[in-house]
Amino acid sequence: MSYIALSDKDKKEMLERIGVASIEELYGCLPDELKLRRRLRVPEAKSEPELERSFDALAARNTYPRFLSFLGAGVYRHFIPATVDYLSARSEFVTPYTPYQPEVSQGTLQIIFEYQTLVCQLTGMDISNASLYDGAMAAAEGVLMAQRLNSRNKVLVARSLHPQYRETIKTYTRNLGLVIEEVGFGDCGGLKSAELEAKLGPDVCGIIVQSPNFFGVVEDVAKVVDIAHRHQALAIVAVAEAVSLGILESPGRFGADIVCGEAQSFGLAPGFGGPFLGFMACKKEHLRQLPGRLTGQTKDVDGRRGFVLTLSTREQHIRREKATSNICTNQAWCALRATIFLETLGHDGLREMAVQNLQKAAYAAETLAKVKGVRLKFSGRFFNEFVLELPKNAQAVLDALKAKGLLGGLALERYYPELRQDVLLNVTEAHPKDDIDKLAVALREVLR
Amino acid sequence: MSYIALSDKDKKEMLERIGVASIEELYGCLPDELKLRRRLRVPEAKSEPELERSFDALAARNTYPRFLSFLGAGVYRHFIPATVDYLSARSEFVTPYTPYQPEVSQGTLQIIFEYQTLVCQLTGMDISNASLYDGAMAAAEGVLMAQRLNSRNKVLVARSLHPQYRETIKTYTRNLGLVIEEVGFGDCGGLKSAELEAKLGPDVCGIIVQSPNFFGVVEDVAKVVDIAHRHQALAIVAVAEAVSLGILESPGRFGADIVCGEAQSFGLAPGFGGPFLGFMACKKEHLRQLPGRLTGQTKDVDGRRGFVLTLSTREQHIRREKATSNICTNQAWCALRATIFLETLGHDGLREMAVQNLQKAAYAAETLAKVKGVRLKFSGRFFNEFVLELPKNAQAVLDALKAKGLLGGLALERYYPELRQDVLLNVTEAHPKDDIDKLAVALREVLR
Amino acid sequence: MIREPLIFEISDKGKRAFALPKLDVPEKKDLLAGLAVRSEIRDFPQASEVEIVRHFTRLSQQNYCVDLGFYPLGSCTMKYNPKINEKVAVHPGFIQSHPLAPEDLVQGNLEVLKLVEDALSEIAGMDAFTLQPSAGAQGELTGMMVIRACLEDRGDPRKFVLIPDSAHGTNPSSAHLCGYTVQEVRSNENGTVDLEDLAKRMTGDVAALMVTNPNTLGVFEYDIKKIADIVHAKGGFLYMDGANMNALTGICRPGDMGVDVIHINLHKTFSTPHGGGGPGSGPVGVKKVLEPYLPVPRVVRKGSGFGLEFDRPKSIGRVHSFYGNFLVIVKALAYIQTLGPDGLKEIAEIAVLNANYIRRSLDKDYHLKYTTPTLHECVFSDKFQKDAHGVTNLDIAKRLIDYGVHPPTMSFPLIVHGALMIEPTETESRRDLDFFIEAMTKIAQEAKDDPAVLKAAPHHSYVRRLDETAAARNPVLKWENPGS
Amino acid sequence: MIREPLIFEISDKGKRAFALPKLDVPEKKDLLAGLAVRSEIRDFPQASEVEIVRHFTRLSQQNYCVDLGFYPLGSCTMKYNPKINEKVAVHPGFIQSHPLAPEDLVQGNLEVLKLVEDALSEIAGMDAFTLQPSAGAQGELTGMMVIRACLEDRGDPRKFVLIPDSAHGTNPSSAHLCGYTVQEVRSNENGTVDLEDLAKRMTGDVAALMVTNPNTLGVFEYDIKKIADIVHAKGGFLYMDGANMNALTGICRPGDMGVDVIHINLHKTFSTPHGGGGPGSGPVGVKKVLEPYLPVPRVVRKGSGFGLEFDRPKSIGRVHSFYGNFLVIVKALAYIQTLGPDGLKEIAEIAVLNANYIRRSLDKDYHLKYTTPTLHECVFSDKFQKDAHGVTNLDIAKRLIDYGVHPPTMSFPLIVHGALMIEPTETESRRDLDFFIEAMTKIAQEAKDDPAVLKAAPHHSYVRRLDETAAARNPVLKWENPGS
Ligand SMILES: Cc1ncc(COP(=O)(O)O)c(C=O)c1O
Ligand SMILES: Cc1ncc(COP(=O)(O)O)c(C=O)c1O
């Protein structure tokens, strides 16, 4: 099958109209010696039933879903209402491209406009773009944007920022002369504000801090913003667990300059890491430096409201090497899903989800910390993730739990060598109390 | 959740406009003593996550899909192309009703028109209706239609007609003074034509015969039609395995008067027995007695082609007790799926599917008949089902196979007490050779 | 605009949308030797996948539907169809299971059937339900057969069935198919059953009265208990067409009114989608005395699980293969479980609120033949418009299409000439209700100002008014290859 | 017609579309004591499920899409997106798995990655692929970073990157983001790279040439080998933007042309749907010498299965969390496996046939600046129409909307003034191709007969021409509550 829609007769007649004898002839403009004189060495074509069978088999080799998992660390399992899958599967959403022609793309455009509004409401910011690739890339773009805004060349990065975000920032900035310096975390699990204060100077363009941070701990964003601003540096707040915005005060409220992050929690499955949904919002005055597409409201010639892609003079197709970012294709369909998700949950639903995450994680932390030898690593308040310190090497304990069908979280040693005995666990509304209790029982057995 | 779209304010304002103080007041037209003064005793409302969990649990109590099954007997597992699920799930197909208003229903109407055409092409008949409930009811309607056509009051029913079709015919005709007489089957598994000839008389309105019949055997339809017509009786041909029409000559070609049956094979899952798709087609001259809805082609005021429900003077909403049938809501969405299925497969795909069914069933029959003590019960040519005679009680053997994870077909004794040691097996394109071989091995073990 | 042709008109050799794996058993020749095999299926289409997908996607957009807007088709209860119900019903455990599977392998399915039967029994106040009928009409037939079987058992099936003149066409048709002669009962000036006429006609030869409650005007039969008494006194049965149960769930129960048999439409009251005209499901509930006559098989508790009982000598038999439209029933269960006791009551309450809101908002502009209070629907007529401007209900309906709303049911019930039967259901938003009311109000004005616009409506649809007479006079019911 | 408002405009208290199960752990107070907790999310919407469903269903119908018709957006390869790919990609085994799961529990996923990497390597003739980049632009950045890392390793990252003036905007932007200064290379009269200009600019300070092949005119760079030699002779790398691979699959391989780095768009050549503007996937392939610099982690064979390798000291690091847009990659695998070697070749062949059919059918009516033979797309301009009638490519594009087809890409490549860039792809039917050709022909005629109609187009769309200037001058980028 190659999804060709021409009949034999069509092909014949079309070649005739073109005036060539064969398709081969149309490739006359290629040097002969470049032509591949053999068949591609890829597996032979599969019929649809064969394909389904082989993908069933592939998927079945992923035994992960059979385990009771407490993995989070930037990727969360939240309930997804049926409306999200149903509506987002419509051809009209799946098969168009970027709404370059607004008159035949009002669906996509209005939805992006709603998405931008929702992001602003949640983050407390003035302006949101239409999406970025993922939280890691959004963090990197946030740093680059800050640098463009004040032309200073050092950026401070909280060590409690998601390790993959830090890695991505490093990659994105490595050729641009930016210096990255990390700011450590204290016993509460949050950023050491004294260290931040100490490291800030006239060369620092900004600080990027995540809240709730990688350890689940809610940072004192107000304080970070305050310190940064006192040094004319920008405060970039990253959010990796977007559901937290349902209950935590918005970063915008504290004066954050740029808010970026990952909205996978809003209607996207873990999907082995993607596609996810990077988001970015900023203050009005920084609009011209915001990367990514923007949808704006306008009127048509009859005076009717309509939406268009706008301010594209920031973008690569107009500004080429001077663009704010090289991004072109973004994650529009993921933003659509987030929009359906958020509008289905509504104000009350999102709040309730946030509250349940908070409560369940607290219950889990309390229950697990009662297991002998186990303690909560950090003293800071946390949202739906927390770090447990175990009485022995974390990976060994996790392996023992795995043998019992449980994935008890992420061993932190790989990312923080000093945290050899520590595990990061996530609990959401999708974990019934029973599951939490099961983990406690298993952990007790394993540590006995 | 009760899927109400009114806000508290809406309700208040609406009551005000109506001029009542409460909804209770709107129920003032009910006698008080009829009002239920307690809550309904049904389970408390479930949230969507709870509902999903409870349905997952319910569905998981169906362990059937874990078995390798050779059950057929009127319900077949065929491959369903992805287009069928994808397209038929569109809101515009799922959520409208009968196309009473053609100007806003051309989608449904054109599709029914195509469906009617496809059924005519497959059955070789002049006219098809828009669907009936299922094969059993279609068979009953076929008999009633024949009776209306020639006003004779006896109907002959092949004993090799699907038992449930026979039961349904009995139910449908029981209050209408129709006499039913059965015609047996011979060693070939097909209708005894001598018996048919003998039972035909001036009181017989028609004979209903199924081909391939309940045992999978292809009947000599030409002969049955010929005999019936010689006695001025009508020949009704039932088809329970519609895929067979991809290779077997159409009943219309043999002169059948009415063709009715079940098109579940065309894109509908076994679904524990429904919804399925009853179909019915007839000769042009019998149009006025055809039950069910019909879509016809016409023009609009601008001369453009369009489609409408037509000839509704046959139907209950116009003719009331004199209608050709009481059917109103039919199986339109199932007919839509069949249409997508058939148009996706296309001429070549349907033929190929039919050929593979034929070949695989033949291979299975040959392979299984090699097992010691097992023989093919009937000598007649068969399509994708066949009857095996086992050396002992069929149900006992099936139970033993089941213990090995196989469902080796249907024990026929319940429907044909004389067939105590006989099993009806179905093989389709969805059974890889391995599965057939597995059954042969298991059967050998069980019979050892 | 692309006008989508028939698939046959774009079919051509060499296109395809489907392939099977290669045959994996040795191919045999002559398997059908001696039989007539077709070498081709004449004119059967052959197209590519992109053409198939565009064909149906384009055609889909020529359909109006509940997910696009208000669909006030009276008597049809076009409520919103929840998406979660669609999702749970396609679980492989449900859709893959074979109806002849051993009972122990399909316990989930049997439990679904039992749960729905039990819930419907409670909601309708009946003793037992069968889920076998595929739709309302088949439910009626089943219910009437059950009555007849019982009467036969008592020695005389009787001859007549009484049906009010306001009833749906399936009622008389089903009674007829059950071997009865139909007698019409007059409606009184309230639009309800004329008790006198009923009493007169209700003789020992009458098997049953088939009543719809609330009736097709949306009016509750206030005297339903008296009606039941009249029928019962003569040894007859009271059959209730439960198409309008959406007005009553959790408010009152037919079983408590003296109803002996009822059918309910899952595709109306219980939110299963209408699918462009089915599949539906028309369960039938009965009182204890009639239970032995219900179709086979019956779902029964067996040990800690469920089983099927076939051996019921008094049963009328089967009206459908297997257990009815099972996957439709699954969706209804999801709905019932989502709503719970309070939700079930709320649907009736809000359905009645919405209908009365519309009635009150339009009763200046449109004629109400019966001013009796109504519940979940209301039936206007075109009298004002027709008398003064020659504008009919058809014109009004077609003009609504221009405004982007689906027209109400037309010309039913028969006792209201030029009827416009409006059933909003409980799931409409205020905005969509008001949009409809505004359109209707504008149309009433247009009927005065510019009746020609209405008579030529619709103006903006994919096709305009279609010649239905020509369609019936010279039926073209399938595509024929012009080249052959 | 109902004009769908913003969800915020229909939001109201008391409506809801969602509920969670009751909290099943003991509720604790003050869990966030001392922290700022929000009491409400101001103006956040609150609607019912039916409103949500209608909102998105109605809005969806205001989108044009591939499943509705021809979408000749040049450079975007808007081919048909097979439905089976959507189906296999939602298997719970794929969508539920966590990217940090132990490797032995996600062997299926790792195999998917490996299979796609291997297939792309073979198709493009490269030695290794990374699937981490989310889209073409991120692929470019990744590829350029890999080049830079290698050059740095050799002691000098160099300063410049050469890019033809016909290139896509992401090319210079990506090069810039990688720390390079961009120099433009002139196109010659054939629309291809001017070898002389290239030779002149290609110095020891140039890191790479970024070339698109076939280029954005659809013209194959006949001298690509010479180009490679010029670049390599100065120690630079040849980067190929593989956005136009749809012209070449199975016909020839970039790796065989001397290309050192290529990015491929799975959302173009490999049929993954465009989703209204993503998610895409932009894998990057490299020759052996560059492999050590690819992003981490790499998928590697481990024993009989697969594993992830993180310890690659020369790697540029990560450009994306985890492994890229995994579920997009799954769909591309399904596509590659469905097509097989012959199908992959056929897509290129038919894409080229279709594009040349359109070119030949329109070359009388529209101006072709470059008459060089083209492969999978062709770029007309509005010169004929503009010079004679003042009609621009924008007018033509908007008028196509009235005919029901999506306009081509406009104003790109920059070297063709008033460009109309048409890429039909291989999946179009003759009927849809002809429909487009006919519309374009009619428009050419209309430009002569009635240019005003074109300038005011579109006439029949949901909105008409929108004021883009006002949108940019006075940006309204979100809804604000008028009541606050
Ligand atoms: C009052 C009434 N009774 C019976 C029926 C018949 O139901 P069904 O169409 O499900 O057969 C209808 C259907 O519209 C109806 O409105
Ligand atoms: C030639 C060319 N290069 C690069 C890109 C950028 O790819 P993406 O949008 O996937 O980032 C495009 C996209 O349209 C393109 O056409």
Pocket test for ligand 2, best of D166, D246, D265, D319 (most atoms within 8 A of CB): D265
Q: Summarize the confidence of residues A55-61 as an average pLDDT.
A: 97
Contact criterion met (CB below 8 Å) for B258 and B291:
no
pLDDT at D1 (0 to 100): 62
pLDDT at D483 (0 to 100): 84
Identify all chain C residues contacting D69, using CB atoms and an 8 Å cutoff.
2, 54, 58
Beta bridge partners of A229: none
Q: How many CB atoms lie within 10 A of CB A296?
A: 23
Which of A8, A50, A87 minimises the CB distance to C14? A8
Which residues have CB under 8 Å from B106's CB, separation 6+?
B306, B307, C59, C62, C63, C462, C463
Three-class DSSP category at A424: strand
Helices C49-60 + B332-369 axis angle, to 10: 150
Give the distance (Å) from ligand 2 centre to CA of residue D210. 13
**Is residue A19 left, alpha or beta, with left meaning phi > 0 and alpha meaning psi from -120 to 50?**
left
Q: What is the mean pLDDT of chain B?
A: 97
Question: Tokens standing for B411?
Answer: 């024990």
The radius of gyration of chain C from alpha carbons, rounded to an integer in Å, stands at: 25
Residue C18 — φ and ψ, nearest 5°?
A: -160, 140
DSSP-derived pairing of the beta strands A234-239 and A204-210: parallel
How is D167-209 classified by DSSP, letter by letter?
Answer: S-THHHHHHHHTTPEEEEE-B-TTSSB-HHHHHHH--TTEEEE
Identify all chain A residues contacting B79, using CB atoms and an 8 Å cutoff.
48-49
> pLDDT tens digit string along C48-70?
999 999 999 999 999 999 999 99
Q: Mark yes or no for CB contact D273/A131 under 8 Å.
A: no
pTM over 0.90: yes
The pLDDT of residue C383 is above 70: yes
Contact criterion met (CB below 8 Å) for C427 and C396:
no
Give the distance (Å) from ligand 2 centre to CA of residue D280. 10
Low-confidence ranges of chain B (pLDDT < 70): none
* Best CA proximity match to D217, nearest among D15, D481, D62, D422: D422
User: Best residue in A46, A83, A90, A356 to probe B by mutation, most B CBs within 10 Å?
Assistant: A90
> pLDDT tens digit string along B134-165?
999 999 999 999 999 999 999 999 999 999 99
Considering every ligand atom shown, identify the ligand nearest to the alpha carbon of residue D169 and give its number: 2
Cα–Cα distance measured from residue C37 to residue B215, given in angstroms and rounded to the nearest whole number: 19
Q: How far is B366 from chain A (nearest CA, A)?
A: 25
Q: Mark yes or no for CB contact C49/A48 under 8 Å.
A: no
pLDDT at C1 (0 to 100): 62
Q: How many CB atoms lie within 10 A of CB D259?
A: 26
User: Best residue in A8, A40, A304 to probe D by mutation, most D CBs within 10 Å?
Assistant: A40
How is A20-45 classified by DSSP, letter by letter?
Answer: -S-HHHHGGGS-GGGB--S---SPPP
pLDDT at D180 (0 to 100): 97
* Best CA proximity match to C102, nearest among B418, B405, B134: B405
Which residues have CB under 8 Å from A417's CB, separation 6+?
none
pLDDT at D42 (0 to 100): 96
Give the distance (Å) from ligand 2 centre to CA of residue A337. 23
pLDDT at C23 (0 to 100): 98
Ligand 1 atom closest to C135 (CA): 10
- Give the chains touching D; criterion: ≥3 Cβ pairs < 8 Å: A, B, C
Identify all chain D residues contacting B82, using CB atoms and an 8 Å cutoff.
82-84, 86-87
Residues 82-121 of D with CB under 8 A from C: 82-83
Q: Summarize the confidence of residues C183-208 as an average pLDDT.
A: 97
> How does DSSP classify residue A275?
S
How is B266-334 classified by DSSP, letter by letter?
Answer: TT---GGG-S--EEEEE-GGGGGG--S--EEEEEBTTS-EEEEE--GGGSHHHHGGGSS----S--HHH
Q: Mark yes or no for CB contact C10/D431 under 8 Å.
A: yes
* Consecutive 10-residue averages of pLDDT for chain D (484 residues): 90 94 96 90 97 98 98 98 98 97 98 98 98 98 98 97 96 97 96 97 98 98 98 98 98 98 98 98 98 98 96 97 97 98 98 98 97 97 97 98 96 94 98 98 98 96 95 97 86
Q: Mark yes or no for CB contact B48/A81 under 8 Å.
A: yes
Give the distance (Å) from ligand 2 centre to CA of residue D60. 25
Cβ–ligand 1 distance for C213 under 6 Å, the answer no
Give the distance (Å) from ligand 2 centre to CA of residue D75. 7
Which of B43, B54, B170 minimises the CB distance to C317? B170
Give the distance (Å) from ligand 2 centre to CA of residue A143. 24
pLDDT at D39 (0 to 100): 87
Q: How many CB atoms lie within 10 A of CB D260?
A: 27
Q: Mark yes or no for CB contact D57/C68 under 8 Å.
A: yes
Using beta carbons and an 8 Å cutoff, which residues of B are at the interface with D?
A: 1, 3-11, 46-50, 81-83, 85-87, 91
* Best CA proximity match to C90, nearest among A41, B56, B25, B158: B56
> How does DSSP classify residue D275?
T
Give the distance (Å) from ligand 1 centre to CA of residue C233. 28
Helices C107-124 + B48-60 axis angle, to 10: 130
Pocket test for ligand 2, best of D79, D166, D170 (most atoms within 8 A of CB): D170
B45 vs A: CB within 8 A: no
The pLDDT of residue A314 is above 90: no
Identify all chain D residues contacting B10, using CB atoms and an 8 Å cutoff.
12, 14
Kind plus residue range of the DSSP H or E element containing B128: strand B127-128
Q: Mark yes or no for CB contact B82/A48 under 8 Å.
A: yes
Identify all chain B residues contacting C68, using CB atoms and an 8 Å cutoff.
91-92
Confidence of residue C34 (pLDDT cuts 50, 70, 90): confident
Considering every ligand atom shown, identify the ligand nearest to the alpha carbon of residue C74 and give its number: 1
> pLDDT tens digit string along A135-187?
999 999 999 999 999 999 999 999 999 999 999 999 999 999 999 999 999 99
- Give the chains touching C; criterion: ≥3 Cβ pairs < 8 Å: A, B, D
| Cα separations in angstroms, C18 against A143, A144, C42, D272, D328 | 50, 49, 19, 19, 23
pLDDT at B315 (0 to 100): 84
Q: How many CB atoms lie within 10 A of CB B365?
A: 20
Considering every ligand atom shown, identify the ligand nearest to the alpha carbon of residue D73 and give its number: 2
> pLDDT tens digit string along B284-333?
999 999 999 999 999 999 999 999 999 998 888 888 888 899 999 999 99
Which amino acid appears at position D60 of this protein? S
Three-class DSSP category at B249: coil
Q: Mark yes or no for CB contact A45/D340 under 8 Å.
A: yes
* Best CA proximity match to D425, nearest among D123, D112, D69, D130: D69
Pick the residue whose CA is nearest to atom 7 on ligand 1: C136
- Give the chains touching A; criterion: ≥3 Cβ pairs < 8 Å: B, C, D
Q: Mark yes or no for CB contact B432/C24 under 8 Å.
A: yes
